[in-house]
């Protein structure tokens, strides 16, 4: 059978909305009867997801897979870069970590990664009617184009029509579209078949005559003007979004949650379910001076535990956290944050940076030792404790996923959460005020989140009534409905049908 067709979504810059647009297109094409799958050759994010059977991909590709109603798999994101700071990133290839590289070293290594990217795309094309491919950053980064493996090289390889997305909310969208188009090579410009103006606040008619003029200048039509979507309740991948969630704190009647914004914060989408609670305020805090008087402080996951622990200590966070705990606040650590709450962290082989040992906050009787092979797995667990923040939670069943190189030994008296095979993945302090856990997605467990927040609110004399759990699938349908009303879907379908590949097997 000939390979499936590829539609590619590229952008004038990072954070213009490519990822959500791809998710919406996946659901639209599914509704139109296509077998559809997402793809992103190279992603850079510390928000990762674990696929069934193990292996990491970007969180955005997992959401896009959900939009296409297919299981996430490593071929959807064959190269994932996880920044560690100091201009270095861990390189994850087909779900497995392959060491750490500097930016110049990775720029050279990309040539060796291209055959892996091409094979992953070929694998998906052999199984699906349409691959909706997402670019990375901008295709017009002229300093990087010679070794591009994520944008126009993918489009050329697959003879894919390209939609270029511009963000009107940041201003200058027509200049961004025009400049991006004309920085491309002639053969690349020939693949650009549509522009999409994204994040419009206001009346689309006020854009005239801009869309007509940009088509006259480039020969490329504007095939969509997508409105500002507000909060659809879907996770965001780019840490730039955290700038909008900073808050200095202040009186609040509900449960006040302060998340320490570590320099290398990872998987911050863990806390989206808390943000959707009506009586919970979630704020990201960089300085102890802005901590205020929270009811819950969270130490999140991190790509470099010992480095971020050193930052925490240098900024005076241990004393601030101790004051918060003395004032009655609860402390929760997830993954790297869990490791920080323990007695010590050893990295004798330098898995996450310089080799050595670091003293933790010593609030949990936990010791962590890093090993070369990372644990990446979808996990089912259950709560074994019922005290303090976990009062009434014993025997609750939990779902989540793990991504960690550190292996932690937990004192038997403090074990609070175990996997089905009995392995401990969480600990609770004797006073019940400090909880650590390896499970990403912990707060996505509605029963646990409801009970935990109820316990905190009662202890602090605060207001809290549970909010019904979010329906991610319904949110994707809402996204698709907005796109159906704001883009020229028939034009996009024609581009797909005219692209190289096999005829779509609708309804199969």
- For residues 191 and 385, give the distance between their C-alpha atoms in angstroms, rounded to a whole number: 58
Beta partners for residue 402, in sequence order: 377
> Contact at 8 Å (CB) between 129 and 4?
yes
3-state secondary structure 455-492: HHHHHHCCCCCCCCCCCHHHHHHHHHHHHHHHECHHHH
Strands 344-347 and 356-359: antiparallel
Kindly give, in sequence order, each residue whose CB lies less than 8 Å from that of residue 338, ignoring residues fewer than 6 positions away. Answer: 299, 364, 366, 408, 426, 427, 436, 437, 438
Which one of 26, 335, 393, 437 is the catalytic residue? Answer: 335
Please name every residue paired with 470 in a beta bridge, in sequence order, or none if there are none: none
Give the active site residue among 176, 393, 404, 440. 440
Q: Is the Cα dihedral 385, 391, 394, 397 positive or negative?
A: negative
Task: Say if residue 88 is preceded by a cis peptide, omega within 30 of 0.
Answer: no
Cα 28-30-36 angle, rounded to 5 deg: 110
- Alpha-carbon distance of 56 to 94, in angstroms, equals 8
Is the alpha carbon torsion for 498, 503, 507, 508 positive or negative? negative
Alpha-carbon distance of 433 to 454, in angstroms, equals 14
> Do residues 343 and 365 touch, judged by C-beta distance below 8 A?
yes
Helix (H) or strand (E) holding 308: helix 305-314
Is 335 in the active site? yes
Q: Is 505 a catalytic residue?
A: no
Q: Please count the CA atoms within 13 angstroms of the CA of 57 that sit on its side-chain side.
A: 25
Whole-number CA gyration radius for the chain? 23
- Spell out the long-range contacts of 245-252 with Cβ–Cβ below 8 A and sequence spacing 24 or more: 245/275, 245/282, 245/283, 245/284, 246/283, 246/284, 246/285, 246/286, 247/281, 247/283, 247/284, 247/285, 248/283, 248/290, 248/292, 249/283, 249/285, 249/290, 249/291, 249/292, 249/293, 249/294, 250/292, 252/281
Q: Which residues pair with 281 in a beta bridge?
A: 256
Residues whose CB is less than 8 angstroms from the CB of residue 134 and which lie 6 or more positions away in sequence, other chains included:
8, 9, 10, 18, 19, 22, 38, 39, 40, 60, 64
Find the helix packing angle between 472-486 and 18-31, rounded to 10°.
Answer: 90
Phi, psi of 402 (to 5 degrees): -120, 140
User: Which positions are annotated as active-site residues?
Assistant: 335, 440
């Amino acid at each position: 059978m000939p390979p499936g067709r590829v539609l590619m979504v590229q952008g004038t810059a990072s954070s213009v909305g490519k990822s959500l647009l791809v998710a919406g297109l996946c659901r639209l094409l599914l509704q139109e009867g296509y077998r559809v799958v997402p793809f992103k050759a190279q992603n850079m994010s510390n928000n990762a997801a674990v696929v069934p059977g193990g292996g990491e991909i970007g969180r955005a590709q997992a959401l896009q897979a959900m939009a296409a109603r297919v299981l996430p798999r490593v071929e959807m994101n064959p190269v994932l870069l996880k920044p560690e700071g100091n201009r270095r990133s861990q390189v994850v290839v087909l779900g497995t970590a392959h060491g750490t590289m500097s930016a110049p070293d990775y720029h050279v290594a990309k040539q060796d990664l291209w055959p892996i990217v091409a094979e992953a795309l070929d694998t998906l094309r052999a199984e699906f009617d349409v691959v909706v491919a997402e670019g990375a950053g901008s295709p017009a980064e002229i300093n990087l184009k010679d070794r591009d493996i994520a944008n126009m090289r993918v489009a050329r390889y697959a003879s894919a029509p390209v939609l270029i997305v511009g963000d009107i909310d940041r201003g200058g969208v027509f200049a961004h579209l025009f400049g991006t188009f004309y920085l491309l090579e002639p053969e690349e410009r020939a693949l650009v078949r549509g522009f999409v103006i994204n994040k419009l606040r206001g009346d689309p008619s006020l854009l005239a005559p801009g869309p007509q003029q940009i088509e006259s200048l480039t020969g490329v039509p504007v095939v969509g003007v997508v409105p500002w979507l507000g909060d659809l309740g879907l996770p965001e991948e780019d840490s730039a979004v955290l700038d909008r969630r900073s808050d200095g704190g202040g009186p609040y009647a509900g449960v006040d949650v302060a998340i320490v914004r570590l320099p290398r914060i990872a998987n911050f989408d863990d806390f989206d379910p808390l943000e959707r609670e009506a009586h919970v305020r979630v704020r990201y805090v960089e300085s102890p001076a802005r901590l205020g008087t929270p009811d819950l402080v969270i130490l999140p996951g991190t790509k470099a535990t010992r480095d971020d622990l050193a930052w925490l200590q240098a900024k005076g966070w241990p004393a601030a956290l101790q004051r918060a705990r003395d004032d009655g606040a609860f402390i929760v650590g997830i993954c790297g944050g869990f490791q920080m709450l323990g007695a010590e962290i050893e990295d004798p082989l330098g898995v996450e940076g310089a080799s050595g040992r670091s003293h933790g906050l010593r609030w949990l009787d936990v010791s962590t030792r890093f090993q070369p092979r990372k644990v990446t797995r979808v996990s089912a667990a259950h709560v074994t404790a019922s005290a303090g923040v976990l009062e009434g939670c014993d025997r609750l069943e939990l779902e989540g996923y793990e991504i960690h190189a550190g292996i932690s030994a937990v004192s038997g008296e403090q074990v609070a959460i175990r996997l089905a095979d009995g392995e401990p993945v969480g600990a609770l302090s004797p006073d019940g005020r400090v909880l650590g856990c390896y499970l990403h997605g912990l707060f996505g467990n509605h029963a646990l989140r409801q009970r935990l927040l109820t316990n905190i609110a009662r202890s602090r004399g605060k207001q809290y009534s549970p909010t019904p759990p979010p329906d991610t699938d319904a949110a994707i349908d809402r996204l698709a409905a907005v796109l159906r009303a704001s883009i020229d879907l028939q034009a996009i379908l024609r581009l797909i049908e005219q692209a190289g590949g096999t005829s779509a097997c609708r309804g199969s």
